[in-house]
Amino acid sequence: MKTWRMLQKESFTKLSDLTTYLELTQDNLELVDFSPHFPCLVPRRLAEKIPKNCLTHPMARQFVPLKEEKWESPDFIEDPLCEQGGVRVTPSLLHKYDGRLLLIATGACAMHCRYCFRQHFSYQSEDKSFTQELDYIRQNPTLHEVILSGGDPLSLSDDHLENLLMHLDQIDHLQVIRFHSRFPIGIPERITDELLTILKRLKKQIVFVVHINCADEYDEEVTQALRKLTALSIPVLTQSVLLKGVNDSALALKALSLASISRGILPYYLHKLDKIRGAAHFEVGENEGIALIKELRKQVPGYAVPQFVAEYPKERSKTPLIVLQN
């Protein structure tokens, strides 16, 4: 049986290999950006879900670099959330919101999504001791939650992850440790018995928020990996980004919500696209997004409807983009 590290090494990192695997014809090859700013990284399991010679499929749209990424738009910039400014209190710590903060555990990820809002992020530190970050957390008793992000925190080895988690677990004023991860979707084998054993040892409540944008990203292996987490009484939620050509229809959003709910996973957030340079072709208008959520609400139970939100610099929380009216 292949380990998750072995599967990680099988990911497509060369566009020439990926386009050959996808059997792209010359017409489609001419749409591909073979010199993207953000390198190609696609787990093989996700590439296998892309139909041959098809760049319009939601999976292809998310992971194959296209020349559309070169479109310039004045609103789309390298740091749309101003994360490089005052909210970055250490090289790996972002303190935006009261009571909780975000720890950039690593710059590495399981995959490179073409709309990633941190594709231009300056990952200044790969120090896995997190000494500065842990000291800051210990000295701020108003904190009740730490969010592990990246990159992807599950890119860390079990040894480094265990060391970080055990230190966080010993900080009395913390109540929740939250993972933001895409790994269970791209390489679900990362949810190993060893990782589960580490999570079982923690006294703090663990929460997993899994990034998934379309129902096709689920399969039996993904489902089983996520159920290993829920079996430990770990809530698993989803967050998605509203993306043109990926999930910008009520039908696609309904399929994703029902696929999640049927697996015991609650839809949490549907994000308005962050205006990161290179992603303008994914933008869906705010009014269109609101209309989609209103339509979705007619078709699925309320608990299956994610909250449509945007993030704006210097705001102290996500901003809901829909309020029920008469």
Average pLDDT in the chain? 94
Residue 326: the pLDDT is 36
- Dihedral sign computed on CA atoms, order 256, 258, 263, 267: positive
- Read off the pTM: 0.95
CATH number corresponding to 88-320: 3.20.20.70
The type of residue at 259 is A
Give CA 86 to chain center in angstroms.
23
247-306 tens-digit pLDDT: 999 999 999 999 999 999 999 999 999 999 999 999 999 999 999 999 999 999 999 999
CA nearest 225: which of 254, 253, 198, 264? Answer: 264
**Residue 322: band (very low, low, confident or very high) from pLDDT cuts 50, 70, 90:** confident
Percent of the chain with pLDDT over 70: 97
The type of residue at 188 is P
Contact indicator for 188, 3 with CB cutoff of 8 Å: no
Which three-class secondary structure state does DSSP give residue 303?
A: helix
**Residue 323: band (very low, low, confident or very high) from pLDDT cuts 50, 70, 90:** low
Q: Pairing state of beta strands 266-271 and 307-310?
A: parallel
Rounded to 5°, angle at Cα 42 from 5 and 79: 105
132-187 tens-digit pLDDT: 999 999 999 999 999 999 999 999 999 999 999 999 999 999 999 999 999 999 99
The torsion angles phi and psi of 204, rounded to 5 degrees, stand at -70, 155
Domain ranges, ordered by start, for the chain: 4-70, 88-320
pLDDT at 325 over 90: no
